[in-house]
Amino acid sequence: MPISKEMLDILCCPRTKKPVQPLASDHLRRLNDAVRTGKVKDVDGNVVTQPLAEALITVDQMTIYRIDDGIPVMLIGSGIPAAQIGDS
């Protein structure tokens, strides 16, 4: 379920306060390919083991936040540095 525009208008990165936007499907696919190979870590250094169905990315293309069951998980430590998937 896509995030509503109203929700996007109020969400931001909890660390940088940068607005977020939906992660493009090609970037989500690349991220999930990397997750399946065990190459993705969150900000806290934990290996991300579950593919993401949906995600948000900061407008500066630095941090990705997963969306679980339609709920954005906007926790600093759970953010995923976007550099791990190359050109975000």
What is the C-alpha separation between 87 and 31, in angstroms, rounded? 11
Q: 54 is in which domain, residue-wise?
A: 5-85
For the chain, how many structural domains are there in total?
A: 1
Say whether pLDDT at 1 is over 70: no
pLDDT-above-70 percentage for the chain: 95
* 32-44 average pLDDT score: 96
Give pLDDT tens digits for 15-30: 999 999 999 999 999 9
What is the C-alpha separation between 14 and 3, in angstroms, rounded? 17
Q: How much is the CA Rg of the chain, to the nearest whole Å?
A: 12
Specify the pairing of strand 63-68 against strand 71-72.
antiparallel
* 47-60 average pLDDT score: 97
* 31-51 average pLDDT score: 96
Sign for the CA dihedral angle at 13, 3, 65, 86 comes to negative
At 88 the pLDDT is 47
Please give the model's pTM, rounded to 2 decimal places. 0.92
Find, among 70, 74, 71, the residue nearest to 19 by Cα.
74
